[in-house]
Structure 1
């Protein structure tokens, strides 16, 4: 190889090295731009998306986070004022609550929410837990014991008053899908429903929860769950002389009146023919009074789709989520900027009261007592009903 060829070869190598170096510098610069540019856009896009939820009208806000903006900002204010949530350097209270409501409202997985809000799955998971704990601490504030007066929903309707004048609330239960370890699945299996947790709630006639007991296995009988609720030191309480309406599954017992068994009950059963005796009339009106109560869990499950889906948390979190949904539901039902914000969290004194388990004989005596009361109500209804029919 002569001298010119050597020089040309060297020049070619140098040119190739320089070209490769220039290309590599360009690639590094481009990668740097790609890596740094989205961070600015992420913050902007996230804020823009949250604003679109909260400021694009009531209907859009309800569709996305299941409440109007006024209820949302009220909830954030309550959580902030009671020091239950704090903004952090990267995630403010508003974003924390929006993300939580988005998840329970639509049953969206953490990784999906993370990509939509430009957050890591770990961040979404962490703040979901933070908000869940904060919401649970609102139980005493939002799920409050009502007064003992006859509800206006009874007092103002002649079909119900004075017959149900001592009825102040109603009991209702539902099954929520549950995911539990294989070795205890049989206890949680509810026939065709699969594994569920059985939830008991006491509900006022203006459709608010005032007591919720979640976590019982799906196979547990309603009457057993009610006994547990009544036996807890800070459990369900029924004022003396008053009673709750309940379905037949709870069984007639002290301060709990159920319909007559083996007698027409559901409203549709009376569509072609009216009541023919006192028991049928009682069941018809019992059903009419409870029908609105039965809607509450249906509303709750439609509002929070997560309750009707296969859970992906541990069981205690599944129980906590049911309670949180009931708390948020009550907040939405009763929201009033000049009302709720005036109440702080309060601690009720611990009670040492423990309700003793009744003997079989005492239970039978209670059944006879409240069966007699039901008979008395039914007969009075029937007498008045027949008198009006004659006129």
Structure 2
């Protein structure tokens, strides 16, 4: 049996070239396979997402706007929370003072309608896009433009609070010298709380026409306290009923959330100045009269001990109210 032949240098070179060639073929196969899968995914994605075409959408866009602001005031209030006259004036204000301009394809009326639908019904971008037959990018862009334009109207829509002067003679306010306003269910960082008297009539329903009049300073103070609380809760209740975005959880950034709330208050002032009859307020008062909103009178602070300073201030206010009440009767 002949001995095995020793490999020469040329044999080693041949084997090395063969191994390199096999590796190159394998890498080429992997690359071709990857590109094939990538192209198939692109083709599948392109077949699923229909291209955006503007011209076929125009009739539906015009029809949707006509249904909102072109038919009846009822439809306009339901969708945008204001009648057609108020809506037209708001658009004019935003054009003249807010710096809002017609887009190339989107009018000011449609821009404002998008924004109001978000506030009134807490609609997401995908819902607004579907309703108005626009792209999501277009809706987002114009909603932010209207947001900034409405904030520019704060000069004429914002009602600035006024301090109650020390020499005030109005029986409604003279007991609250130095006060600016109140917060709905929120307690700021102070040394104590001005709470009603415990164990004394408090709820407004206890002061009906057939019930006795206040018999002492404690009952009179609780009556006025309850009326003031009722007015504050009514104002915030109407706000939440008018603007759905205030009733639910929102995922906007904190900065945008603050601006949206400011817009709600500014628009609420605008609506109250432009609409003599507000269906939202009428509906809210009807629910209150029917007892559908429940009784919130037990929510005042009674789990924190009042400080002697605040108790003394309450007694001082109650004494003044009672003296005026006795002199008037």
> Fold-level match, TM-score > 0.5?
yes
**How far did 1:135 drift?**
1.2
Q: Does 1:140 align with 2:82?
A: no
How many Å separate the matches in 2 of 1:377 and 1:279? Answer: 12
How many Å separate the matches in 2 of 1:83 and 1:270? Answer: 47
**Counterpart of 2:21?**
none
**Counterpart of 1:251?**
193
> Is the 8 Å Cα contact of residues 301 and 308 (structure 1) preserved in structure 2?
yes
> Is the 8 Å Cα contact of residues 104 and 304 (structure 1) preserved in structure 2?
yes
**Counterpart of 1:97?**
112
**Counterpart of 2:279?**
none
Q: Following superposition, which runs of at least 4 residues in structure 1 exceed 6 angstroms of deviation?
A: 146-150, 167-170
Cα 1:162–1:314, aligned 2, differ >3 Å: closer, same or farther?
A: closer
Higher strand proportion (structure 1 or 2)? 1
> Which one of the candidate residues 100, 106, 115 is aligned to 2:121?
106
How many Å separate the matches in 1 of 2:63 and 2:192? Answer: 50
SS in 1 for 2:188: helix
- Per-residue CA deviation, residues 158-179 of structure 1 (Å, 9 max, x unaligned), is xxx964352698733336xxxx
SS in 2 for 1:309: coil
**Counterpart of 2:182?**
172
Query: Structure 2: which 5+ residue stretches go unaligned?
Result: 1-46, 276-306
Q: Does 1:121 align with 2:121?
A: no
How many Å separate the matches in 1 of 2:81 and 2:232? Answer: 20
**How far did 1:149 drift?**
9.4
**How far did 1:266 drift?**
2.3
Q: Does 1:375 align with 2:314?
A: no
**How far did 1:262 drift?**
5.7
Query: Structure 1: which 5+ residue stretches go unaligned?
Result: 1-30, 151-160, 176-197, 199-221, 228-248, 253-257, 337-363
> Is the 8 Å Cα contact of residues 115 and 143 (structure 2) preserved in structure 1?
yes
Cα 1:138–1:366, aligned 2, differ >3 Å: closer, same or farther?
A: farther
> Which one of the candidate residues 198, 211, 223 is aligned to 2:188?
223
> Which one of the candidate residues 238, 248, 251 is aligned to 1:299?
238
SS in 2 for 1:306: helix
**How far did 1:367 drift?**
4.9
How many Å separate the matches in 1 of 2:157 and 2:192? Answer: 26
> Is the 8 Å Cα contact of residues 86 and 93 (structure 1) preserved in structure 2?
yes
Please say which of residues 108-117 and 263-272 is displaced more in the overlay: 263-272
How many Å separate the matches in 1 of 2:163 and 2:184? Answer: 25
> Is the 8 Å Cα contact of residues 163 and 380 (structure 1) preserved in structure 2?
no
**How far did 1:374 drift?**
0.5
User: Which aligned pairs between 1:42-121 and structure 2 lie closer than 5 A?
Assistant: 42-121=57-136
- Root mean square deviation of aligned Cα: 3.5
Cα 1:262–1:115, aligned 2, differ >3 Å: closer, same or farther?
A: same
> Is the 8 Å Cα contact of residues 259 and 282 (structure 1) preserved in structure 2?
yes
Q: Does 1:265 align with 2:210?
A: no
Cα 1:171–1:316, aligned 2, differ >3 Å: closer, same or farther?
A: same
Higher helix proportion (structure 1 or 2)? 2
How many Å separate the matches in 1 of 2:144 and 2:264? Answer: 14
